[in-house]
């Protein structure tokens, strides 16, 4: 069994409070969960208004399939107009 991970750091320029940030992050996480068969969670920067790290994980038997699926998730996250993707780490092991 292989496990793929995706770490995405994002900047949320429109967030003026933790409440604004959580509203955006929870909305995106919910949409990813409904669209893709992956686990997703907010990891870092819990007390910063405009910054967060999103972690995504997926298990499977085919490395190329996992990489393709995680790339689709990344494309989806990158297309979110309410934030900017700052840094990305993708790995399969």
Token representation of residue 50: 């405009």
Identify the pLDDT of residue 33: 95
pLDDT averages per 10-residue partition of the chain, 93 residues: 97 95 96 96 90 97 97 98 97 94
Identify the pLDDT of residue 47: 86
Identify the pLDDT of residue 46: 79
For the stretch 18-22, contacts whose Cβ atoms lie closer than 8 Å and that sit 24 or more positions apart, written own/partner, are 18/47, 18/49, 20/49, 21/48, 21/49, 21/50, 21/52
Task: Enumerate domains of the chain plus CATH numbers.
Answer: 2-92 (3.30.70.1120)
């Amino acid at each position: 069994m292989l496990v793929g991970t995706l770490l995405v750091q994002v900047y949320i320029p429109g967030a003026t409070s933790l409440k604004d940030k959580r509203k955006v992050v929870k909305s995106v996480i919910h949409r990813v969960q409904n669209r893709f068969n992956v686990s997703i969670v907010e990891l870092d920067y819990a007390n910063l208004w405009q910054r967060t790290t999103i972690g995504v994980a997926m298990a499977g038997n085919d490395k190329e399939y996992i990489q393709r699926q995680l790339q689709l998730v990344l494309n989806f996250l990158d297309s979110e107009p309410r934030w900017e993707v700052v840094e990305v780490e993708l790995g399969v092991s």
